[in-house]
Chain A
Amino acid sequence: MKEICAEDIKDLCAGAAFLATGGGGDPYVSQLIAERLLSRYGPAKLMPLDKVPDDFHVVSIGMVGAPTVTLEQLPTEDEAVKAFDAYQTLTGKKIDAVIPFEVGGGNSTVPLTVAAMRDVPCIDGDGMGRALPEAQMMTFPIYGVHPTPAVLRDAWGNQAILDCNDAETFERHVRAMAVTMGGMISSAEHGMTGAQARRAAIPKTISFATNLGKLLRDHDGIVDAIQGSIVELFKATDYGIVRRLYTGKVVDNERKIVGGYDVGTATIQSFDANVAAMTLLIKNEYLIAKVGEEVVATVPDLICIVEQETSRPLNAERMRYGQRVTVFGIGCTHHYQTDKALKVASPRAFGFDLDYVPLADLGRT
């Protein structure tokens, strides 16, 4: 079985920041705590998704809340692992393996720390293959895993167990609980059998994010030089297609808070005056990219932005005038290409009057 050790964390965090498609928050805090915990408890075992036994009880673990809160209210050493323990106590079910909600941003590392501390494997996979803002957008509920019982725990040791009728209700309730419980909580949820996990989870994303992050960090220079390597890396996976959509300068980034999310528009202008500007529509993550009036990529496909000169992934909240960036469109995994998945993760699910057209079918090259 493969392992993730403290020395891998910077790579994993860089790769996860790329796959976060603009969301996921600042990865520095999660990087620090993961490095510390893995140094102390040893590496986390990484179990390939296709090796998970049918009768395993698999639970997804991560943080829910406002990333801004973690700027001051730093994580405890044991909050996530106590949520793990409480899940076992309150549900009476032993957890055999953990799996991340998402491979984008800080939630990629939380399950690895729990795995190291409780000596259970962490599955090399996740429930999004990227970052998305809401629980019902995870592949787990889309492919029939019920989100509850879910155990929520705050830094004070307060716990709540949620039992909800469906994923949308769960998202509403867990969000409200996160605000009530201090702004940021740990959640152990989406209990599933190994057989269910193999059907519902996206495989190999943790090891993939680590490899991707290593490529970006080792290079730390102009993105053109590693574009070929990025394409090759994705081509060998279920994501498949990578398309360089645009290179230019950020000329506008206007965002405001609507319904508890960052919503807004960013504009990127090409260095070639004959090319129309790119517009990005944002709800925490980059959701839709247009060049002029032409749509060139939409959610659930990934829109990933890196700084042109450093190849470092760029968060939406860090974007500002003058940055030179390159925008990539990347195919979503097949999990998101079904009608059921598109119902919760297509542009319409975010309130845009627009149907999803796969990147491969969109005209630009």
Chain B
Amino acid sequence: MKIGIDVGGTHTDAVVMRGLEILATHKALTTSDVKQGIVEALDTVMSIANLDSADITAVMIGTTHFTNAVIERKELSETAIIRACLPTGSGIPPMCDWPEDIANCLGNHVYMLKGGHRFDGSEIHGLDDREIGTVLDDLVSKGIESIAIASAFSPINNSHEHYIAALAKAKIPDANITVSHEIGRLGILERENAALLNASLGGLAQSVVSNMKAALVERKIKCPFYVSQNDGTLMSADFIARYPALTFASGPTNSLRGAAVLSKLDNAIVVDIGGTTSDVGVLANGFPRESNSFIDVGGIRTNFRMPDIMAIGLGGGSLVSADGKSVGPSSVGHRLVKEGQVFGGSQLTATDIIVAAGHQDIGDVNKVSGLSGSLVSKASAAMHRMIDDAIDKMRPSDEPVPVILVGGGSILITGKLNTASEVYCPEHAGVANAIGAAIAQVGGEVESVVSYNKVKRDKAIESATQAAREKAIKAGAQEQSLRVLDIEETPLSYMDDNAVRLRIKVIGDLKQVRQS
């Protein structure tokens, strides 16, 4: 039996699952004491499912804690960035495009050194031990123990990052070090940003993980526990203490993956309609389709693996115009239960329209009985059109697609969606996030630039796949279950030599999880 827990900003959800069967669910407000919230969630679902702690084989936790820390600029450690790139790169130092408030939180400890590699893996410049030593002395004198290390083209050759990290560890034994090639892909600005955020979250990660561990110990749960990351795969608890930034998008990812399980569909569009916005994402082979563009986390440009989510301003609390022709993006949000007309308020909301149309019995239907039929049908048509437009932009081809509706606002969709081949509204959709966490898998990914003139294409793909498999196995995947999820080849413009950027991702089931 597996337990999935989603610690969100508003709610903490939990589920107990046996295979893909849902045995118990729980939804409660998130408490300020993370440990206590998890303990309560565990107690509730274990009692519903009549479980003993020995029955549990794994606990999976999803959390938005680290995203919120960055957005709110809270609990971030002072962190230095050491970038090996000179003589290139001096024109754009690390953090030069950061918002001032978060740059100040981290302390603006920016260092550039000779080093790094070129696109063909040769050195831009050799490293200079004395130069590195001077930087480390400076960090010691400032008392900084949180360090991000980046070098040019480290996804192709990471030796300089490793070398600097080893010297830093020797000089500052307690240092919390993030090397950029372990956390980002090509694009040094975005990758070093990711490394910086990751390193600055190190202290918080230690404390969150120990709280999670303490909660399990308190309930005598001895099985391993995992944390879900951006792409729907898991990392072990010890990993999260080192890579907290990899959880940044786990919320929407878990929601998409949970929807896949609930609907038993691997390829579909998932529409998560909340109080103010709707998030539209794409399930491709059971996993969220990733975004191609740069992702802004708290005002900082990163290139994390993140689901491609389109948010539109439509939710249960969206305001409806007087003529009914437009709905949203303004919304009463969580004040719906006070300000919506069916709840005695004065604002005309999307929820009022659905009640007036007779599709839902929420609040007092008499309060909206005076709305004209034409207004109600116009507003309802507008909502369907908004969702249809969003699906149309996100769907992988212009064929109609299966659509899965989740979230409290999914009641807004009462009629036909032109873009949908079929519409699914699965049971338990409210705890899709926790389900997504419970069924998460383990992945391994490699990215490199290869010349197909020097290495044959099939050989290059084969060796990259092998490297990705080894990464996944190291992360806890069961070898037999591994499969290639994605092969991506990007031709490098202007580059001779038939050079491509090759990215391969494999995934598999978690080794420790056994079906009981």
Contacts and interface: CB of A to CB of B under 8 A. Distances in A.
Interface stretch (B85-93, B313-321, B421-429): B85-93
Given A36-B91, A72-B186, A76-B87, A183 B491 contact: no
A323 B395 CA distance: 10
Contact of A67 (B97, B394, B494): B494
B189 interface: yes
Given A72-B119, A77-B90, A251 B398 contact: yes
B90, B293, B392 — which one has the most chain A CB atoms within 10 A of its CB? B90
B87 A73 contact: no
Contacts of B393: 249, 322-324
B322 interface: no
B187, B293, B396, B495 — which one has the most chain A CB atoms within 10 A of its CB? B495
Secondary structure at the A interface, as helix, strand, loop or mixed, is mixed
Contacts of A257: 491-493, 495, 498-500
Nearest to B394: A322
A103 B89 CA distance: 24
Interface in A145-182: 155-157, 175, 178-179, 182
Interface in B104-134: 116, 118-119, 124-125
Contacts of B153: 72-73
Nearest to B292: A320
Contacts of B500: 257
Interface residues of B, number: 40
Contact of A318 (B118, B293, B397, B492): B293
A150 B21 CA distance: 71
Contacts of A260: 494-496
A155 B91 CA distance: 11
A69 interface: yes
Secondary structure at the B interface, as helix, strand, loop or mixed, is loop
A262 interface: yes
B14 interface: no
Contact of A68 (B189, B495, B496): B495
Interface in A259-314: 260-262, 269, 284
A112 to B, nearest CB: 14
B175 to A, nearest CB: 25
Given A72-B186, A261-B493, A322 B89 contact: no
Interface residues on A, range: 35 or more
Contacts of B398: 249, 251, 269
B30 to A, nearest CB: 34
Contacts of A284: 493
A75 B124 CA distance: 13
Nearest to B118: A182
Q: Which 8 A-B pairs have the closest CB atoms?
A: A257-B491, A66-B494, A74-B89, A155-B88, A33-B91, A75-B91, A77-B91, A72-B153
29 contacts: A29-B92, A32-B92, A32-B97, A33-B91, A36-B92, A36-B96, A65-B494, A66-B493, A68-B119, A68-B501, A72-B116, A72-B186, A73-B89, A73-B119, A74-B92, A74-B152, A75-B89, A75-B92, A155-B88, A156-B125, A157-B87, A179-B496, A182-B118, A183-B495, A251-B398, A256-B491, A257-B500, A322-B394, A323-B393
